[in-house]
A and B are shown apart, each in its own frame.
Chain A
Amino acid sequence: MTPQEIYDILKTQFGDAVLEVKIEGARDPFIKIQPDKINDVARFVHNNEQLQFDYLMCLSGVDYKGKLGVTYNLYSMVHRHKITLKIEVPTESPDAPSVESVWKSANWHEREAFDMYGINFLGHPDLRRILLPDDWEGYPLRKDYQVPEFYNGMKVPY
């Protein structure tokens, strides 16, 4: 299925929750979704017979300075097609529904995005830091992150 057809199916199903699409000129065509609808959209693209996106290749957090984004790179093992979904949440209240109930692989990816960007995935069963220590402060991959001077009383050299 082409990205345009995938977009058409999503647009008829979800209407205004589909915010933006970029197919021409984009290296990976993407569809931007309203953040609070992402779980519904994920479940739909996973279960829909024509789409069957059963494989979540990658889930990445991105800091767009002022907004935090999550990118979902999806693939269908059955139909062998791809699509990229994106959401954007404000940095002050970075809440987004979790898609862990749809793709189990999202579990650790979402924990990583929480760890590095502080994106709060609602409905995630085990949202805690994964790569950094539990007592780490701040979210290091945010663009405005300041390296703390001390960690547990130890001076951080640089």
Chain B
Amino acid sequence: MIETSFDIAKTSTGKSLRTEEMVVNMGPQHPSTHGVLRLEVVLDGEIVVDVIPHIGYLHRCFEKHCEHMTNYQQVIPYVDRMDYVAAMTNEMAFVSVVEKLLKIEVPERVHYIRIIMAELQRIASHQIAIGTFGIDMGAFTPFLYYFRDREKILDLFEMTCGARLLYNYMWIGGLSHDLPPQFIGQAKDFCRDFKKTLQEVNDLLNYNEIFIKRTANVGVLPKDLAINYACSGPMLRASGVDFDLRRDDPYTLYDRFEWDVIVGKGEVGVVGDVWNRNMVRQKEMWESLRIIEQALASLPEGDVQKAIPKRIRPVPGDVYGRVEGPRGEIGFYIVAEDSVTPYRVKGRAPAFVNLSVIGEIAKGAMLADLVAIVGSIDIVLGEVDR
């Protein structure tokens, strides 16, 4: 890609017009950085020579706080605030790691409800990702359509646990509340109605000529580089790696449902480009709907608070666990000592790891494409900075 930049800069006389490099700061306050992220962009004309991300503007000492809690339960609200647009999956990651540490078996009903919540959350998160990405690319309508339907998911969360954004819903060994009686009917209605919106947005956005021009063949991330940079989630799958933790490193009861792992195929552009990352998210929502419908249909009975331990004091040791969040692998590394508080908690945030590859894929792109690339990584600065 760099070579083409020199071609553009050559005049008809063959003389190079290569000018001095310029450093432009994109952010911290910039609408397309989706939060407070500063990208130090080295430009040669319009062409990006280098990108150096500066993060930490939203650092809230999550890991230090965890060590100063009075028990493990108190960490959960902090985990919510790591990735604030997908709090349910973060909770799921944390509680499943602590359950692994304590070797607790939770009832089936808890597993089912967690799966329903996590998949609803995945849809809600992808709606924001695709909606705001559309805005970055100049398409406003998908954002409005998705936010209209996202409200229905938030209503479902609200009727279950009272909160719309940061839930503190999944507890170690159980859940804070059982599902209210009207939940199942309303969730089924949502699944039915949302399919129409999905199809509509697919028709409006993904094969739109302008959208394709902006996103196809831009910011290509090759397969081996994606693995070497430990990218995960839609970012990894769009690069053609058939890998999903829900299937390949199973946790809870995902193996009971029928669904497919979406891999970027390069219908438009090449595998691993911005268009494919967006398309993987789009298609994943269909799969999430499939999982939710199956889980709702076969929801077992039981007491969701039966397995909640009275006191959490794990045997000393350390454990790393991970789940598939909307952005990729959410992992927690917990070191336990003989105490009621964790000795060390490290949050492996998917957006943090995915963002580190930007210097690699943005090189040689146009400045306007950088907006598309940042949007396609789907960063949430809350979890990048923790």
Q: Is the CB of A73 within 8 A of B333?
A: yes
Instruction: Let me know if B353 is at the binding interface, CB within 8 A.
Output: yes
Bound complex: CA of A141 vs CA of B318, how far in Å? 17
Q: Is the CB of A57 within 8 A of B56?
A: no
Taking the closest CB of chain B, its distance from the CB of A98, in whole angstroms, is 15
- What residues of A have a CB within 8 angstroms of the CB of B248 in the complex? 80
Do residues A26 and B317 form an inter-chain contact, with CB atoms below 8 A? yes
- Name the A residues within 8 Å of B228 (CB-CB): 54, 103-105
Question: Is B230's beta carbon under 8 Å from chain A?
Answer: yes
Question: Do B230 and A56 touch across chains, with their CB atoms under 8 A apart?
Answer: yes
Partner of B331 from A54, A57, A63 at Cβ < 8 Å: A57
Choice from B225, B227, B360 contacting A55 with Cβ under 8 Å: B227
A157 to chain B, nearest CB (A): 14
Q: A57-B331, A108-B352 are in contact. Are A130 and B55 (CB under 8 A)?
A: yes
- A141-B56 contact, Cβ under 8 Å, with A55-B227, A60-B346: no
Contacts of A104 in B (CB 8 A): 225, 228-230, 356-357, 360
Query: Which A residues are in CB contact (< 8 Å) with B333?
Result: 58, 60, 71, 73
Contacts of A26 in B (CB 8 A): 317
B227 to chain A, nearest CB (A): 5
Q: Scan residues 60-105 of chain A and give those whose CB is less than 8 A from a CB of chain B.
A: 60, 62-63, 71, 73, 77, 80, 84, 103-105
> Chain B CB within 10 Å — which of A27, A54, A129 has the most?
A27
Residues of B within 8 A of A116 (CB): 63
A15 located at the interface, meaning its Cβ lies under 8 Å from any Cβ of chain B in the complex:
no
Interface flag for B64 (CB, 8 Å): yes
Q: Which residues from 3 to 30 on chain A have a C-beta closer than 8 Å to any C-beta of chain B?
A: 26-28, 30
Q: Which residues from A are CB-within-8-Å of B317?
A: 26-27
**Complex CA–CA separation, A131 to B333 (angstroms):** 18
Mask: chain B, 334-375; 1 = CB below 8 Å from A; 0 = not: 010000000110101000110011001000000000000000
Q: Please give the distance in Å from B94's CB to the nearest CB on chain A.
A: 14
Q: Which residues of B contact A58 (CB under 8 A)?
A: 320, 331, 333, 346, 348
Is B61's beta carbon under 8 Å from chain A? yes
Among B55, B63, B241, B335, which residue has its beta carbon within 8 angstroms of that of A77? B241
Contact: A140 with B61, CB < 8 Å? Answer: yes
Determine which residue in A55, A63, A116 has the highest number of CB atoms from chain B within 10 A of its CB, and name it. Answer: A55
Instruction: Judge if B81 is at the interface, Cβ distance under 8 Å.
Output: no
Chain A residues with CB below 8 A from B356, complex form: 104-105, 107-108
Q: A55-B227, A57-B322 are in contact. Are A132 and B346 (CB under 8 A)?
A: no
0/1 interface trace, chain B 50-81, chain A, CB 8 Å (1 if under):
00000110010101100100000000000000
* Residues of chain A contacted by B56 (CB below 8 angstroms): 129-133
Contacts of A132 on B, CB cut-off 8 Å? Answer: 56, 59
Within 8 Å of chain A (Cβ to Cβ): is B114?
no
Inside 8 A of A27's CB, which chain B residues have their CB? 100-101, 317-319
Give CA–CA (A105, B352) in the complex, Å.
10
A141 to B61, CA, bound (A): 9
What are 7 inter-chain pairs, A to B, with CB distance below 8 A?
A: A103-B230, A104-B229, A104-B360, A129-B56, A131-B56, A141-B67, A141-B344
